[in-house]
């Protein structure tokens, strides 16, 4: 029982006063990684897409690398014993802009082939480096640097690199992501991809106790087709001149609220990200233009 008491107290104590809360996205934030099909079979190609967000003005260079394997060892990263998944296409990148100006959102994609005869959980390791790199990234040097990083917590930037946070240190300018790809489980019905409608924003009935110039809105991002019954959890991101903000909700429809400037000088973007217990991840986004009228409920 004592450990449960400790756990409860940690929940209460884990609130730093100077640290920015998770709702404030002031550095690059990996928002989601999804794959399609959700449960690939051996020999099949599958794509992996990643959504990242950061402040719109942040235009420092980003380098993204991904590797994939069938995880036999059960580790956090692909090891020598884990059958590698070869690339099945060129990486893709889509930077979301409005009138040529970054919104801070970016989607990157990779395609892999699940090797024939390899059974297990697919593991995709993604590295996001916020550094200016030479044209040809030395992946061997990068791998060695990352190994040092996870061993010691600190590592110098490889030669020729200039990193955003500290030009000479890789440590503060690298993000690692792990994405598990579940295989088809025996006779169980295969899991289909989840698709979301673009978010819908309406004014709420309650417009009381607001700062002047703000409108309280309700956001939803309904499923296309049947809604998920598998404990969907929702993350919402908004990008605006006020910065990038994250919110979370646990309702089936992902309903959330947002305070919006009634008079806007630039477009706002809203991203809804859904994860459910089946391992499905989906996202959609909407743009709120300067002249768009927020509809009544």
Partner 1 sequence: MSLPIPAALFLLLQTAAVVPADSAEAGPAAGAAAAVAADQAADAEPVVEWTPTWSVGVSEAGEHPLIRSVIQERLTRWLQKLPGAQLDESVDLTRAEFRRAARKSLRRYALFIDRAAADVLSIQVLDEQDLAGLASLDLQCPGCDTKGWEVRLNEGMSALIDALGPLLKASEPKPDVPAVVVEPDVAKGDASLSFQFRELGSGLKLIGVSVTVSQGEQTLCETNSEAKGKARCVELVAGDYEWAASFTGYKPATGKVTLAAGEAIFRPVDLEPTRVNRFSTTIRGRGPSREVTRVRLTREELEDIPGTGGDVVRAVQSLPGVARPPGLSPLIIIRGSEPDDSLFMIDGFRTSLLYHLTGQGVVENETVELLDFVPSNFSARFGRSHGGVVEVTTRDKHAEEWTRRIQTDVYAGSVFAAGPVGKKDMLWLSFRRSWIDAVLPLVADVLPLDFAVAPRFYDYFFKWDRKISGGGRLGMVYQGALDKVKFAIDQPPDFDPSVRGDISTLTMFHRIRPYASFKIGDWRHKSSVNIQLESFNVNLAQAFKLTVENYRKSWRHEALRKLSDSMDLVLGVDYQQIYYNVNGKASSRPQEGGGRGSFARTESEVFDSPGVVVRPGAYSEARYKSGLWESLLGLRVDTDGANWAFYPQPRFLTKRYLTDKRFDLRFGLGAYSQPPRPDETISPFGNPGLFWEHAGHVQVGGGFTDPGGFSIESSLFGKRVIDAVGNAQSQDEAQGTQGLGGLGNVGEVRGYGAEFLIRQRKADFPVSGFIAYTISRAERKDREGEDWRLFSFDQTHVLTAVATYKWTTRFSTGFRYRFASANPETPNLGSLFDSRTGTYIPIPGAPFSERPPPFWQLDVRADYKILRPGWRLQLYLDLQNATSRQNIEGISYNTDYTEQEYSYGLPLIPSFGIKGVF
Beta carbon of residue 163, minimum distance to partner 1 (angstroms, whole number): 13
DSSP assignment letter at 90: -
Strand partners, 201: 219
Q: What are phi and psi of 13, to 5 degrees?
A: -90, -15
Rounded Cα–Cα distance for residues 167 and 95 (Å): 24
Beta carbon of residue 234, minimum distance to partner 1 (angstroms, whole number): 10
Rounded Cα–Cα distance for residues 19 and 21 (Å): 6
| CB closer to partner 1 out of 20 and 242 | 20
Beta carbon of residue 209, minimum distance to partner 1 (angstroms, whole number): 15
Applying CB under 8 A, among 12, 90, 188, 293 the residue interacting with partner 1 is 12
Does position 10 interact with partner 1 (CB under 8 A)? The reply is yes
Does position 259 interact with partner 1 (CB under 8 A)? The reply is no
Stretch that binds partner 1, among 60-68, 97-105, 145-153, 209-217 (CB under 8 A): 145-153
What DSSP element (H or E) covers 35?
A: strand 29-36
Contact 52, 86 (CB under 8 A): no
Positive or negative CA dihedral for 6, 12, 14, 16? negative
Contact 101, 86 (CB under 8 A): no
Does position 216 interact with partner 1 (CB under 8 A)? The reply is no
Interface pattern 218-257 for partner 1 (x via CB under 8 A): -------------x-x-x----------x-xxx-------
Does position 54 interact with partner 1 (CB under 8 A)? The reply is no
Applying CB under 8 A, among 43, 57, 59, 76 the residue interacting with partner 1 is 76
Rounded Cα–Cα distance for residues 34 and 140 (Å): 26
| CB closer to partner 1 out of 13 and 293 | 13
| CB closer to partner 1 out of 72 and 98 | 72
Cα 238 to Cα 26, 59, 220: the distances in Å are: 12, 18, 13
Applying CB under 8 A, among 43, 116, 134, 172 the residue interacting with partner 1 is 172
Contact 70, 122 (CB under 8 A): yes
List residues near partner 1 by CB under 8 A: 1-23, 27, 29-34, 71, 73-76, 121, 149-153, 171-172, 174-180, 182, 231, 233, 235, 246, 248-250, 273, 275, 277, 279, 281
């Amino acid at each position: 029982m004592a450990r449960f008491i400790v756990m409860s107290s940690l929940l209460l104590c884990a609130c730093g006063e100077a640290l920015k809360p998770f709702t404030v996205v002031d550095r690059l934030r990996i928002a989601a990684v999804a794959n399609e099909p959700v449960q690939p079979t051996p020999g099949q190609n599958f794509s992996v897409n990643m959504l990242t967000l950061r402040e719109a003005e942040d235009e420092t260079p980003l380098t993204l690398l991904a590797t994939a394997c069938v995880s036999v060892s059960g580790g956090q990263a692909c090891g020598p014993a884990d059958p590698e998944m070869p690339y099945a296409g060129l990486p893709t990148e889509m930077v979301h802009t409005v009138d040529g100006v970054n919104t801070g959102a970016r989607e990157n994609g990779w395609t892999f082939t699940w090797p024939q005869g390899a059974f297990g959980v697919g593991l995709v390791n993604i590295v996001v480096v916020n550094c200016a790199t030479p044209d040809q990234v030395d992946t061997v040097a990068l791998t060695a640097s990352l190994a040092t990083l996870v061993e010691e917590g600190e590592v110098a930037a490889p030669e020729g690199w200039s990193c955003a946070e500290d030009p000479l240190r890789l440590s503060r300018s690298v993000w690692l992501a792990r994405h598990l790809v579940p295989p088809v489980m025996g006779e169980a019905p295969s899991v289909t991809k989840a698709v979301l409608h673009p978010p819908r924003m309406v004014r709420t009935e309650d417009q009381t106790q607001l700062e002047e110039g703000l409108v309280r809105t309700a956001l939803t991002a309904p499923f296309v087709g049947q809604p998920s019954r598998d404990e969907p959890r929702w993350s919402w991101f908004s990008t605006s001149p006020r910065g990038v903000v994250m919110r979370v909700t646990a309702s089936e429809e992902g309903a959330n609220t947002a305070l919006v400037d009634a008079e806007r000088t630039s477009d706002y973007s809203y991203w809804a990200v859904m994860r459910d217990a089946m391992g499905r991840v989906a996202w959609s986004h909407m743009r709120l233009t300067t002249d768009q009228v927020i509809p009544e409920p």
